[in-house]
Structure 1
Amino acid sequence: MKVKSIAIASVLAAVFAGNAFAAQPESGEGPLFLNEAQAVSTLTREAVTQEAIANPPAVNGYDDATAGVATPSQVTRSAVRDATRDAIAHGFRVQSGEMA
């Protein structure tokens, strides 16, 4: 085959391959089930609202009532800096960077 024929053949192969993949569902949409049962909710809007008020969703990935509220630290910032300086002076190496 000539170079021109090879180029045209590769372009046509790419076009046909693209058409074959176009029939599939998009990412996150598959598998495509067309015969799923349709169910209608029997709950009223008022019942759903009352349930949401009674059991609110967790905020920021946790619920304060179940996780417990942490008590604030009594150590000051300057005390932490002084303790870190003393530890470094006595040979403690602070772990920092990518290999920490």
Structure 2
Amino acid sequence: MQVKNIAIASVLAAVFAGNAFAAQPASGEGPLFLNEAQAVSTVTRDAVRQAAIANPPAVNGYDAATASAAVKSEVSRAAVREATLDAIAHGFTVKSGETA
């Protein structure tokens, strides 16, 4: 009798779980923002084209050479390491890794 009750309980749990998920919207369907204002652009296609020609996007503006050129430090790696070790010796705790 107990095996039968377990089987019935598992079937009922699956049915009730299916009903709970059936009330939700499917993926990509919600939430629906239908009350947003619809606006028509007043800018002409030629004006947009002329603005694009006047302000072209940067070519290779985000490559590694540009990024490394922007970050130039006058402090050497050895000086930073020595200052860090000196701060640790005077009680500063470095907040990194799993012990932070």
TM-score normalised per structure 2: 0.45
The structure whose residues are more often helix, as a share, is 2
TM-score normalised per structure 1: 0.45
